[in-house]
Amino acid sequence: MPAPSIPPPRPAAGPAPRRWPGWLVLPALLALGAAAWLLIDRLLVDRRPIVVGILHSQTGPMAQSEQAMIDAEVLALEEINRSGGLLGRPVRWVIADGGSDWPTFSRQAERLIRQERAVVIFGCLTSASRKAVLPVVEAANHLLVYPMAYEGLEQSPNIVYTGAAPNQQITPAVQWCHATLGARRFFLVGTDYVWPHCVNEIVKDQLASLDAELAGEAYLPFAAATCDDVARQIAAAKPDVILSSVTGANALPFARALRAAGIDPATTPLMTFAIGENELQDGAAADLAGHYAAWNYFQSLDRPENVRFVRAFQQRYGATRTTSDPLVAAYNGVQLWAHAVREAETADVALVRSALRHQSLDAPEGIIAVDPETQHTWRPVFIGRIRSDGQADVVWSSRTPVRPMPFPISRSRSEWEQFVSDLARGWGGGWSNPGPTAPPGGGR
Protein backbone atom coordinates (compact mmCIF):
# COMPACT_ATOMS: atom_id res chain seq x y z
CA MET A 1 0.00 0.00 0.00
CA PRO A 2 1.27 3.39 -0.74
CA ALA A 3 2.16 5.44 2.25
CA PRO A 4 -0.62 7.83 3.25
CA SER A 5 0.02 11.40 2.15
CA ILE A 6 0.66 13.83 4.88
CA PRO A 7 -0.85 17.28 4.32
CA PRO A 8 1.59 20.14 4.48
CA PRO A 9 1.61 21.97 7.73
CA ARG A 10 -0.88 24.82 7.95
CA PRO A 11 0.67 28.21 8.42
CA ALA A 12 0.33 29.59 11.83
CA ALA A 13 -2.77 31.72 12.16
CA GLY A 14 -2.09 35.46 12.44
CA PRO A 15 -3.94 37.79 14.72
CA ALA A 16 -7.65 38.13 13.99
CA PRO A 17 -8.56 41.21 11.90
CA ARG A 18 -9.35 44.18 14.07
CA ARG A 19 -13.00 45.00 14.16
CA TRP A 20 -14.32 48.55 14.68
CA PRO A 21 -16.61 48.82 17.61
CA GLY A 22 -20.17 49.04 16.41
CA TRP A 23 -20.71 52.38 18.11
CA LEU A 24 -18.00 53.94 15.87
CA VAL A 25 -19.26 52.69 12.51
CA LEU A 26 -22.27 54.97 12.14
CA PRO A 27 -20.43 58.20 13.03
CA ALA A 28 -17.66 57.27 10.60
CA LEU A 29 -20.12 56.69 7.79
CA LEU A 30 -21.88 59.93 8.58
CA ALA A 31 -18.57 61.83 8.52
CA LEU A 32 -17.67 60.32 5.16
CA GLY A 33 -21.09 61.20 3.79
CA ALA A 34 -20.83 64.76 5.05
CA ALA A 35 -17.41 65.17 3.50
CA ALA A 36 -18.70 63.84 0.20
CA TRP A 37 -21.70 66.17 0.36
CA LEU A 38 -19.49 69.19 1.09
CA LEU A 39 -17.30 68.27 -1.88
CA ILE A 40 -20.31 67.97 -4.17
CA ASP A 41 -21.77 71.18 -2.76
CA ARG A 42 -18.51 73.04 -3.37
CA LEU A 43 -18.30 71.70 -6.91
CA LEU A 44 -21.93 72.19 -7.93
CA VAL A 45 -23.33 75.10 -5.86
CA ASP A 46 -22.26 78.66 -6.60
CA ARG A 47 -21.16 80.40 -3.41
CA ARG A 48 -19.66 83.47 -5.05
CA PRO A 49 -21.07 86.85 -4.02
CA ILE A 50 -23.93 88.30 -6.03
CA VAL A 51 -22.61 91.63 -7.31
CA VAL A 52 -24.95 94.63 -7.55
CA GLY A 53 -24.24 98.19 -8.67
CA ILE A 54 -25.16 101.42 -6.88
CA LEU A 55 -25.01 104.44 -9.19
CA HIS A 56 -25.54 107.88 -7.66
CA SER A 57 -23.72 111.20 -7.48
CA GLN A 58 -21.10 111.33 -4.76
CA THR A 59 -19.70 114.60 -6.10
CA GLY A 60 -21.23 117.69 -7.68
CA PRO A 61 -24.42 119.64 -6.87
CA MET A 62 -26.63 116.55 -6.47
CA ALA A 63 -24.26 114.68 -4.14
CA GLN A 64 -25.98 115.62 -0.90
CA SER A 65 -29.40 114.39 -2.02
CA GLU A 66 -28.05 111.21 -3.61
CA GLN A 67 -25.79 110.24 -0.72
CA ALA A 68 -28.90 109.65 1.38
CA MET A 69 -30.15 107.24 -1.28
CA ILE A 70 -26.83 105.38 -1.23
CA ASP A 71 -27.14 105.08 2.55
CA ALA A 72 -30.62 103.59 2.24
CA GLU A 73 -29.57 101.07 -0.41
CA VAL A 74 -26.55 99.99 1.62
CA LEU A 75 -28.75 99.59 4.71
CA ALA A 76 -31.08 97.28 2.80
CA LEU A 77 -28.17 95.22 1.43
CA GLU A 78 -26.60 94.91 4.88
CA GLU A 79 -29.92 93.66 6.25
CA ILE A 80 -30.11 91.08 3.47
CA ASN A 81 -26.61 89.81 4.23
CA ARG A 82 -27.30 89.62 7.96
CA SER A 83 -30.27 87.39 7.22
CA GLY A 84 -28.09 84.96 5.25
CA GLY A 85 -27.78 86.65 1.88
CA LEU A 86 -29.64 85.45 -1.19
CA LEU A 87 -29.70 81.85 -2.41
CA GLY A 88 -27.01 81.03 0.13
CA ARG A 89 -24.73 83.70 -1.34
CA PRO A 90 -23.64 87.04 0.11
CA VAL A 91 -24.42 90.22 -1.79
CA ARG A 92 -21.53 92.54 -2.66
CA TRP A 93 -22.12 96.08 -3.87
CA VAL A 94 -20.01 98.37 -6.05
CA ILE A 95 -20.72 102.10 -5.68
CA ALA A 96 -20.09 104.25 -8.77
CA ASP A 97 -20.04 108.06 -8.80
CA GLY A 98 -22.20 109.70 -11.45
CA GLY A 99 -20.64 113.04 -10.60
CA SER A 100 -23.91 115.00 -11.10
CA ASP A 101 -23.18 114.68 -14.83
CA TRP A 102 -25.35 112.69 -17.22
CA PRO A 103 -22.62 111.46 -19.63
CA THR A 104 -20.71 110.20 -16.59
CA PHE A 105 -23.77 108.25 -15.46
CA SER A 106 -23.87 106.57 -18.86
CA ARG A 107 -20.20 105.55 -18.72
CA GLN A 108 -20.47 104.32 -15.14
CA ALA A 109 -23.54 102.21 -15.96
CA GLU A 110 -21.60 100.61 -18.79
CA ARG A 111 -18.70 99.87 -16.42
CA LEU A 112 -20.96 98.34 -13.76
CA ILE A 113 -22.52 96.01 -16.32
CA ARG A 114 -19.45 95.07 -18.40
CA GLN A 115 -16.56 95.17 -15.96
CA GLU A 116 -18.11 94.66 -12.53
CA ARG A 117 -20.68 92.14 -13.78
CA ALA A 118 -23.40 93.68 -11.62
CA VAL A 119 -26.73 91.86 -12.01
CA VAL A 120 -28.75 95.01 -11.23
CA ILE A 121 -28.15 98.74 -10.92
CA PHE A 122 -29.86 100.68 -8.16
CA GLY A 123 -29.49 104.29 -9.02
CA CYS A 124 -30.01 107.71 -10.53
CA LEU A 125 -31.93 110.59 -9.02
CA THR A 126 -32.18 113.09 -11.83
CA SER A 127 -34.26 112.46 -14.91
CA ALA A 128 -31.24 113.59 -16.89
CA SER A 129 -29.13 110.78 -15.43
CA ARG A 130 -31.89 108.22 -15.91
CA LYS A 131 -32.34 109.26 -19.54
CA ALA A 132 -28.60 108.74 -20.03
CA VAL A 133 -28.57 105.30 -18.39
CA LEU A 134 -31.72 104.05 -20.13
CA PRO A 135 -30.12 103.24 -23.53
CA VAL A 136 -27.24 101.49 -21.76
CA VAL A 137 -29.47 99.09 -19.82
CA GLU A 138 -31.72 98.55 -22.84
CA ALA A 139 -28.79 97.73 -25.13
CA ALA A 140 -27.47 95.22 -22.56
CA ASN A 141 -31.00 93.92 -21.81
CA HIS A 142 -30.16 94.68 -18.18
CA LEU A 143 -32.02 96.15 -15.18
CA LEU A 144 -32.14 99.57 -13.52
CA VAL A 145 -34.20 100.11 -10.36
CA TYR A 146 -34.98 103.85 -10.31
CA PRO A 147 -36.10 105.29 -6.95
CA MET A 148 -37.17 108.87 -7.65
CA ALA A 149 -40.56 110.51 -8.12
CA TYR A 150 -40.37 111.86 -11.65
CA GLU A 151 -42.25 113.31 -14.60
CA GLY A 152 -43.40 110.00 -16.07
CA LEU A 153 -43.78 110.05 -19.87
CA GLU A 154 -41.53 106.98 -20.04
CA GLN A 155 -41.86 103.22 -19.81
CA SER A 156 -39.02 100.76 -20.34
CA PRO A 157 -38.93 96.97 -19.90
CA ASN A 158 -35.45 97.38 -18.42
CA ILE A 159 -36.41 99.84 -15.66
CA VAL A 160 -38.48 99.30 -12.52
CA TYR A 161 -39.66 102.65 -11.14
CA THR A 162 -40.16 102.74 -7.36
CA GLY A 163 -40.74 106.51 -7.13
CA ALA A 164 -43.99 108.26 -8.03
CA ALA A 165 -45.52 108.73 -11.46
CA PRO A 166 -47.23 112.10 -12.07
CA ASN A 167 -50.66 110.84 -10.99
CA GLN A 168 -49.15 109.75 -7.66
CA GLN A 169 -47.69 113.14 -6.74
CA ILE A 170 -48.37 116.04 -9.10
CA THR A 171 -52.03 115.73 -10.09
CA PRO A 172 -53.33 114.86 -6.59
CA ALA A 173 -51.53 117.91 -5.18
CA VAL A 174 -53.01 120.23 -7.82
CA GLN A 175 -56.48 118.81 -7.20
CA TRP A 176 -56.05 119.29 -3.44
CA CYS A 177 -54.92 122.91 -3.87
CA HIS A 178 -57.94 123.58 -6.05
CA ALA A 179 -60.46 121.86 -3.79
CA THR A 180 -59.06 122.49 -0.28
CA LEU A 181 -57.15 125.76 -0.61
CA GLY A 182 -59.60 127.19 -3.12
CA ALA A 183 -56.74 128.04 -5.47
CA ARG A 184 -57.69 129.32 -8.92
CA ARG A 185 -54.50 131.10 -10.01
CA PHE A 186 -51.36 128.96 -10.07
CA PHE A 187 -47.74 130.02 -10.56
CA LEU A 188 -45.36 127.31 -11.83
CA VAL A 189 -41.67 127.54 -10.99
CA GLY A 190 -38.86 125.05 -11.45
CA THR A 191 -35.23 124.45 -12.27
CA ASP A 192 -34.50 124.60 -15.99
CA TYR A 193 -34.35 120.98 -17.14
CA VAL A 194 -36.52 118.08 -18.23
CA TRP A 195 -38.36 117.20 -15.02
CA PRO A 196 -39.84 120.65 -14.19
CA HIS A 197 -40.71 121.36 -17.83
CA CYS A 198 -42.59 118.06 -18.13
CA VAL A 199 -44.24 118.48 -14.73
CA ASN A 200 -45.45 121.95 -15.62
CA GLU A 201 -46.80 120.79 -18.97
CA ILE A 202 -48.83 118.13 -17.14
CA VAL A 203 -50.06 120.75 -14.66
CA LYS A 204 -51.12 123.13 -17.44
CA ASP A 205 -53.31 120.42 -18.96
CA GLN A 206 -54.87 119.83 -15.54
CA LEU A 207 -55.47 123.53 -14.93
CA ALA A 208 -57.35 123.74 -18.21
CA SER A 209 -59.60 120.86 -17.12
CA LEU A 210 -60.25 122.61 -13.78
CA ASP A 211 -60.95 125.94 -15.48
CA ALA A 212 -58.12 127.40 -13.40
CA GLU A 213 -55.67 130.10 -14.48
CA LEU A 214 -51.93 130.01 -15.10
CA ALA A 215 -50.65 133.08 -13.26
CA GLY A 216 -47.09 132.67 -14.48
CA GLU A 217 -44.23 130.27 -15.21
CA ALA A 218 -40.52 130.69 -14.51
CA TYR A 219 -37.33 128.61 -14.46
CA LEU A 220 -34.10 128.99 -12.56
CA PRO A 221 -30.73 127.94 -13.95
CA PHE A 222 -28.75 125.43 -11.94
CA ALA A 223 -26.81 126.98 -9.07
CA ALA A 224 -28.45 130.33 -9.81
CA ALA A 225 -26.50 133.27 -8.46
CA THR A 226 -29.74 134.69 -7.08
CA CYS A 227 -33.40 133.69 -6.92
CA ASP A 228 -34.59 137.20 -6.03
CA ASP A 229 -35.86 138.14 -9.49
CA VAL A 230 -38.06 135.07 -9.76
CA ALA A 231 -39.36 135.59 -6.22
CA ARG A 232 -40.30 139.19 -7.04
CA GLN A 233 -41.97 138.00 -10.27
CA ILE A 234 -44.09 135.59 -8.26
CA ALA A 235 -45.01 138.24 -5.70
CA ALA A 236 -46.07 140.62 -8.47
CA ALA A 237 -48.27 137.95 -10.10
CA LYS A 238 -50.23 137.47 -6.84
CA PRO A 239 -51.08 133.79 -7.40
CA ASP A 240 -53.31 131.79 -5.08
CA VAL A 241 -50.68 129.05 -4.86
CA ILE A 242 -47.13 128.35 -6.07
CA LEU A 243 -46.26 124.92 -7.49
CA SER A 244 -42.52 124.39 -7.12
CA SER A 245 -40.19 121.93 -8.83
CA VAL A 246 -37.12 123.89 -7.77
CA THR A 247 -34.50 121.37 -6.69
CA GLY A 248 -30.84 120.78 -5.97
CA ALA A 249 -28.64 123.71 -5.06
CA ASN A 250 -31.47 126.17 -5.79
CA ALA A 251 -33.88 124.85 -3.16
CA LEU A 252 -32.63 126.71 -0.09
CA PRO A 253 -31.86 130.08 -1.81
CA PHE A 254 -35.29 130.00 -3.45
CA ALA A 255 -37.06 129.44 -0.12
CA ARG A 256 -35.17 132.36 1.39
CA ALA A 257 -35.95 134.58 -1.59
CA LEU A 258 -39.68 133.86 -1.30
CA ARG A 259 -39.66 134.83 2.35
CA ALA A 260 -37.68 137.98 1.64
CA ALA A 261 -40.21 138.90 -1.06
CA GLY A 262 -42.96 138.82 1.53
CA ILE A 263 -44.60 135.61 0.33
CA ASP A 264 -46.42 134.18 3.32
CA PRO A 265 -47.95 130.67 3.53
CA ALA A 266 -51.12 132.08 5.05
CA THR A 267 -51.90 134.07 1.89
CA THR A 268 -49.76 132.48 -0.87
CA PRO A 269 -48.93 128.89 0.03
CA LEU A 270 -46.29 126.96 -1.87
CA MET A 271 -46.59 123.29 -2.79
CA THR A 272 -43.19 121.70 -3.35
CA PHE A 273 -42.60 118.48 -5.27
CA ALA A 274 -38.84 118.49 -4.68
CA ILE A 275 -37.93 119.38 -1.09
CA GLY A 276 -37.93 116.57 1.45
CA GLU A 277 -36.84 116.19 5.04
CA ASN A 278 -33.16 115.94 4.08
CA GLU A 279 -33.17 119.36 2.44
CA LEU A 280 -35.25 120.87 5.23
CA GLN A 281 -32.55 119.93 7.73
CA ASP A 282 -30.17 122.29 5.96
CA GLY A 283 -31.96 125.42 7.10
CA ALA A 284 -34.87 125.61 4.67
CA ALA A 285 -37.41 124.62 7.33
CA ALA A 286 -37.50 128.10 8.86
CA ASP A 287 -38.25 129.62 5.46
CA LEU A 288 -40.75 126.96 4.35
CA ALA A 289 -42.66 126.35 7.60
CA GLY A 290 -46.39 126.54 6.89
CA HIS A 291 -46.00 125.67 3.21
CA TYR A 292 -46.81 122.23 1.76
CA ALA A 293 -45.08 119.24 0.19
CA ALA A 294 -46.50 116.34 -1.82
CA TRP A 295 -44.76 112.98 -1.48
CA ASN A 296 -45.45 109.27 -1.08
CA TYR A 297 -43.78 109.10 2.32
CA PHE A 298 -43.01 111.33 5.29
CA GLN A 299 -40.81 110.42 8.24
CA SER A 300 -43.65 111.44 10.57
CA LEU A 301 -45.95 108.63 9.36
CA ASP A 302 -47.25 106.71 12.38
CA ARG A 303 -46.88 103.11 11.23
CA PRO A 304 -45.00 100.34 13.07
CA GLU A 305 -43.14 99.54 9.85
CA ASN A 306 -42.01 103.15 9.55
CA VAL A 307 -41.01 103.40 13.21
CA ARG A 308 -38.81 100.31 12.77
CA PHE A 309 -37.31 101.68 9.56
CA VAL A 310 -36.48 105.10 11.01
CA ARG A 311 -34.95 103.47 14.09
CA ALA A 312 -32.79 101.15 11.95
CA PHE A 313 -31.66 104.01 9.71
CA GLN A 314 -30.72 106.23 12.62
CA GLN A 315 -28.97 103.42 14.47
CA ARG A 316 -26.87 102.85 11.35
CA TYR A 317 -26.15 106.47 10.40
CA GLY A 318 -26.77 108.62 13.47
CA ALA A 319 -29.67 109.86 15.58
CA THR A 320 -29.80 113.23 13.82
CA ARG A 321 -30.27 111.74 10.35
CA THR A 322 -33.68 112.08 8.72
CA THR A 323 -35.48 109.87 6.25
CA SER A 324 -37.36 111.04 3.16
CA ASP A 325 -39.38 109.79 0.21
CA PRO A 326 -36.45 109.28 -2.22
CA LEU A 327 -34.49 107.53 0.52
CA VAL A 328 -37.38 105.14 1.27
CA ALA A 329 -38.02 104.48 -2.43
CA ALA A 330 -34.33 103.53 -2.77
CA TYR A 331 -34.59 101.15 0.21
CA ASN A 332 -37.81 99.64 -1.15
CA GLY A 333 -36.22 99.00 -4.53
CA VAL A 334 -33.50 96.82 -3.02
CA GLN A 335 -36.01 94.84 -0.97
CA LEU A 336 -38.32 94.27 -3.95
CA TRP A 337 -35.36 93.06 -6.03
CA ALA A 338 -34.33 90.67 -3.24
CA HIS A 339 -37.87 89.24 -3.12
CA ALA A 340 -37.68 88.66 -6.88
CA VAL A 341 -34.32 86.86 -6.60
CA ARG A 342 -35.72 84.53 -3.96
CA GLU A 343 -38.81 83.80 -6.02
CA ALA A 344 -36.86 83.24 -9.24
CA GLU A 345 -34.28 81.16 -7.33
CA THR A 346 -31.59 82.80 -9.42
CA ALA A 347 -29.87 86.15 -9.83
CA ASP A 348 -30.18 85.94 -13.63
CA VAL A 349 -31.11 89.40 -14.90
CA ALA A 350 -33.91 88.40 -17.26
CA LEU A 351 -35.60 86.01 -14.82
CA VAL A 352 -35.36 88.45 -11.91
CA ARG A 353 -36.71 91.27 -14.07
CA SER A 354 -39.71 89.10 -14.89
CA ALA A 355 -40.25 88.16 -11.24
CA LEU A 356 -40.05 91.81 -10.17
CA ARG A 357 -43.20 92.60 -12.13
CA HIS A 358 -45.42 91.06 -9.46
CA GLN A 359 -43.63 91.81 -6.21
CA SER A 360 -45.18 93.64 -3.26
CA LEU A 361 -43.91 94.91 0.07
CA ASP A 362 -45.26 96.14 3.39
CA ALA A 363 -43.07 99.24 3.20
CA PRO A 364 -42.61 102.09 5.69
CA GLU A 365 -45.30 104.12 3.90
CA GLY A 366 -47.78 101.26 3.46
CA ILE A 367 -48.39 98.39 1.06
CA ILE A 368 -46.65 98.94 -2.27
CA ALA A 369 -46.57 96.73 -5.36
CA VAL A 370 -44.93 96.73 -8.76
CA ASP A 371 -47.52 97.18 -11.51
CA PRO A 372 -46.88 94.38 -14.04
CA GLU A 373 -48.07 96.44 -16.99
CA THR A 374 -45.99 99.59 -16.47
CA GLN A 375 -43.25 98.41 -14.05
CA HIS A 376 -44.03 101.47 -11.94
CA THR A 377 -45.02 101.02 -8.31
CA TRP A 378 -48.40 101.36 -6.63
CA ARG A 379 -47.84 103.73 -3.70
CA PRO A 380 -49.97 105.83 -1.33
CA VAL A 381 -49.92 109.61 -1.69
CA PHE A 382 -49.55 112.17 1.11
CA ILE A 383 -49.65 115.94 1.40
CA GLY A 384 -47.85 117.39 4.39
CA ARG A 385 -47.66 120.82 5.99
CA ILE A 386 -44.03 121.67 6.68
CA ARG A 387 -43.09 122.32 10.30
CA SER A 388 -40.32 124.52 11.63
CA ASP A 389 -38.41 121.44 12.84
CA GLY A 390 -38.11 120.11 9.28
CA GLN A 391 -40.80 117.44 9.60
CA ALA A 392 -44.31 117.52 8.12
CA ASP A 393 -47.82 117.03 9.45
CA VAL A 394 -49.90 114.96 7.03
CA VAL A 395 -53.02 116.91 6.07
CA TRP A 396 -54.27 114.58 3.32
CA SER A 397 -53.63 111.04 2.17
CA SER A 398 -54.97 108.73 -0.51
CA ARG A 399 -55.41 106.08 2.24
CA THR A 400 -54.76 103.27 -0.23
CA PRO A 401 -52.02 102.73 -2.83
CA VAL A 402 -52.61 104.56 -6.09
CA ARG A 403 -52.16 102.82 -9.43
CA PRO A 404 -49.32 104.40 -11.44
CA MET A 405 -50.15 106.05 -14.76
CA PRO A 406 -46.88 107.23 -16.34
CA PHE A 407 -48.68 108.86 -19.27
CA PRO A 408 -51.42 111.32 -18.20
CA ILE A 409 -54.65 110.84 -20.12
CA SER A 410 -54.81 114.50 -21.17
CA ARG A 411 -52.73 113.55 -24.22
CA SER A 412 -51.85 110.37 -26.07
CA ARG A 413 -48.66 108.52 -25.29
CA SER A 414 -47.22 109.45 -28.67
CA GLU A 415 -47.96 113.14 -28.04
CA TRP A 416 -46.20 113.03 -24.67
CA GLU A 417 -43.21 111.22 -26.15
CA GLN A 418 -43.03 113.83 -28.89
CA PHE A 419 -43.06 116.60 -26.30
CA VAL A 420 -40.10 115.05 -24.49
CA SER A 421 -38.21 114.55 -27.75
CA ASP A 422 -38.80 118.17 -28.73
CA LEU A 423 -37.41 119.34 -25.38
CA ALA A 424 -34.20 117.37 -25.86
CA ARG A 425 -33.84 118.51 -29.45
CA GLY A 426 -34.26 122.13 -28.39
CA TRP A 427 -31.45 121.63 -25.86
CA GLY A 428 -29.03 120.18 -28.37
CA GLY A 429 -29.83 116.57 -27.51
CA GLY A 430 -29.37 117.00 -23.76
CA TRP A 431 -31.79 116.84 -20.88
CA SER A 432 -31.23 120.27 -19.33
CA ASN A 433 -31.21 123.77 -20.71
CA PRO A 434 -27.52 124.30 -21.64
CA GLY A 435 -27.27 127.72 -20.06
CA PRO A 436 -23.95 129.04 -18.76
CA THR A 437 -24.61 127.86 -15.20
CA ALA A 438 -26.20 124.52 -16.00
CA PRO A 439 -24.15 121.37 -15.35
CA PRO A 440 -24.90 118.77 -18.05
CA GLY A 441 -26.52 116.29 -15.72
CA GLY A 442 -28.04 118.38 -12.98
CA GLY A 443 -31.61 118.27 -11.88
CA ARG A 444 -34.13 115.57 -11.25
The mean pLDDT of 59-69, rounded to a whole number, is 88
Return the DSSP state at 390: S
Tens of pLDDT, residue by residue over 166-184, are 999 999 999 999 999 999 9
Residue 205 has pLDDT above 70, yes or no: yes
Nearest to 66 by CA among 191, 247, 189: 247
The pLDDT value recorded for residue 439 is 41
The mean pLDDT of 11-32, rounded to a whole number, is 58
The mean pLDDT of 135-146, rounded to a whole number, is 98
Tens of pLDDT, residue by residue over 359-382, are 999 999 999 999 999 999 999 999
The pLDDT value recorded for residue 224 is 76
Whole-angstrom Cα Rg for the chain: 30
The residues, ordered by sequence, that sit 6+ positions from 186 with a Cβ below 8 Å of its Cβ are 174, 177, 203, 207, 212, 213, 214, 215, 239, 240, 241, 242, 243
The pLDDT value recorded for residue 431 is 87
The mean pLDDT of 68-96, rounded to a whole number, is 98
Q: How confident is the model at residue 163 (pLDDT cuts 50, 70, 90)?
A: very high
Given a contact cutoff of 8 angstroms between Cβ atoms, the answer to whether 54 and 70 are in contact is: yes
Given a contact cutoff of 8 angstroms between Cβ atoms, the answer to whether 121 and 143 are in contact is: yes
Q: How many CB atoms lie within 10 A of CB 111?
A: 16
Q: How confident is the model at residue 37 (pLDDT cuts 50, 70, 90)?
A: low
The pLDDT value recorded for residue 28 is 57
Given a contact cutoff of 8 angstroms between Cβ atoms, the answer to whether 150 and 195 are in contact is: yes
Given a contact cutoff of 8 angstroms between Cβ atoms, the answer to whether 332 and 147 are in contact is: yes
The residue ranking higher by pLDDT, 104 or 440, is: 104
The pLDDT value recorded for residue 91 is 98
Residue 159 has pLDDT above 90, yes or no: yes
Q: Coil, strand, or helix at residue 52?
A: strand
The mean pLDDT of 152-161, rounded to a whole number, is 98
pLDDT, mean over the chain: 90
Residue 215 has pLDDT above 50, yes or no: yes
Strands (DSSP E) contained in 288-430 are 292-295, 360-363, 366-370, 377-378, 382-386, 392-397
Q: How far apart are CA 381 and CA 255, in angstroms?
A: 24
The pLDDT value recorded for residue 20 is 53
Q: What is the CATH number of domain 168-299+408-426?
A: 3.40.50.2300
* Type of residue numbered 197: H
Tens of pLDDT, residue by residue over 392-431, are 999 999 999 999 999 999 999 999 999 999 999 999 998 8
Residue 438 has pLDDT above 50, yes or no: no
Return the DSSP state at 124: -
Tens of pLDDT, residue by residue over 216-248, are 999 998 777 789 999 999 999 999 999 999 987
Residue 10 has pLDDT above 70, yes or no: no
> Considering the entire predicted model, what is its pTM?
0.87
- The domain 50-165+302-380 having CATH identifier 3.40.50.2300: the answer here is yes
The pLDDT value recorded for residue 104 is 97
Q: Coil, strand, or helix at residue 180?
A: coil
Q: How far apart are CA 59 and CA 179, in angstroms?
A: 41
The mean pLDDT of 127-153, rounded to a whole number, is 96
The pLDDT value recorded for residue 424 is 93
Lowest mean pLDDT among 44-48, 190-194, 207-211, 328-332: 44-48
The pLDDT value recorded for residue 280 is 85
Given a contact cutoff of 8 angstroms between Cβ atoms, the answer to whether 281 and 322 are in contact is: yes
Q: Coil, strand, or helix at residue 373?
A: coil
In the chain, % helix, strand, coil (3-state, to 5) comes to 45, 20, 40
The pLDDT value recorded for residue 19 is 60
Helix (H) or strand (E) holding 186: strand 185-191
Residue 65 has pLDDT above 90, yes or no: no
List the Cα angle 150/148/280 in 5-degree steps: 100
Lowest mean pLDDT among 3-7, 137-141, 416-420: 3-7
The residue ranking higher by pLDDT, 402 or 27, is: 402
User: How would you classify the pairing of strands 292-295 and 366-370?
Assistant: unpaired
Describe the strand order of the beta sheet including 377-378 as a list of residue ranges: 360-363, 366-370, 377-378
The mean pLDDT of 252-280, rounded to a whole number, is 92
The pLDDT value recorded for residue 16 is 55
The pLDDT value recorded for residue 123 is 98
Q: How far apart are CA 33 and CA 384, in angstroms?
A: 62
Return the DSSP state at 282: I
User: How would you classify the pairing of strands 241-245 and 213-220?
Assistant: unpaired
Q: How far apart are CA 253 and CA 238, in angstroms?
A: 20
Residue 444 has pLDDT above 70, yes or no: no
The pLDDT value recorded for residue 440 is 40
Q: How far apart are CA 386 and CA 30, in angstroms?
A: 66
Provide the percentage of residues in the chain whose pLDDT is more than 70: 87
The mean pLDDT of 33-39, rounded to a whole number, is 59
Question: In the chain, which residues fall in CATH 3.40.50.2300?
Answer: 50-165+302-380, 168-299+408-426
Given a contact cutoff of 8 angstroms between Cβ atoms, the answer to whether 70 and 56 are in contact is: yes
Highest averaged pLDDT of the listed ranges 37-41, 111-115, 252-256, 436-440? 111-115
